[in-house]
């Protein structure tokens, strides 16, 4: 039983990685378009691209990774709570690391990539244990009950 549970969690982690990678592509592409073609401020480009990737990632991970049948608005509010903390923090450290006034002047894309890695790890843990927690695989169980 324990081996089956470990395998299930490994598959769940792999799905999260793949869906997060697709969300990362959406975030990077939309950021590049907004930053390079529209010449929006970094934080505006970052915020819009982050929201696009979050909606994509939440939708796919809820259905296919965590297979959760919990209340969608409540789950989304929990994710919004995570981003209410993560977004200001990441916007702040991005400004500090990329703006000339702070003296670091790191490349925007390196900072974005580092931020995306931090987001990936912390969001998986938050989704797995807070957002979906006990409702993980509940959609799968409901489907089995119907059959």
**Helix (H/G/I), strand (E/B), else coil: 134:** helix
- The neighbour count for residue 112, using CB atoms within 10 Å, is 24
Task: Give backbone dihedrals phi and psi of 38, rounded to 5 degrees, phi first.
Answer: -90, -15
Q: Give me the number of domains the chain comprises.
A: 1
Q: Which band of pLDDT confidence, cut at 50, 70 and 90, is reported for residue 1?
A: low
For residue 72, give both structure tokens.
């969608």
Tokens of 34: 């907004």
Which domain range does residue 13 map to?
A: 2-146
pLDDT digits (tens, 9 = 90+) for 62-120: 999 998 878 889 999 999 999 999 999 998 999 899 999 999 999 988 998 999 899 99
**Rounded-to-integer distance, Cα 132 and Cα 70, Å:** 7
pLDDT at 57: 94
DSSP helix/strand/coil, 27: helix
pTM: 0.79
Cβ neighbours, 10 Å, residue 26: 17
Mean pLDDT confidence for 1-30 = 91
């Amino acid at each position: 039983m324990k081996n089956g549970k470990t395998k299930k969690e490994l598959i769940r982690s792999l799905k999260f990685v793949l869906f997060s990678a697709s969300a990362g592509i959406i975030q990077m592409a939309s950021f590049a378009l907004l930053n390079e073609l529209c010449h929006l401020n970094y934080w505006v480009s970052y915020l819009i691209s982050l929201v696009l990737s979050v909606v994509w990632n939440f939708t796919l991970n809820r259905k296919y990774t965590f297979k959760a049948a919990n209340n969608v608005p409540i789950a989304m509010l929990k994710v919004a709570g995570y981003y209410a903390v993560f977004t200001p923090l990441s916007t702040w450290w991005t400004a500090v690391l990329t703006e000339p006034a702070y003296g670091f002047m790191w490349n925007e894309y390196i900072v974005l990539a580092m931020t995306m890695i931090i987001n990936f790890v912390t969001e998986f843990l938050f989704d797995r244990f807070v957002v979906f927690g006990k409702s993980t695989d509940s959609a799968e169980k409901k489907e089995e009950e119907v059959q």
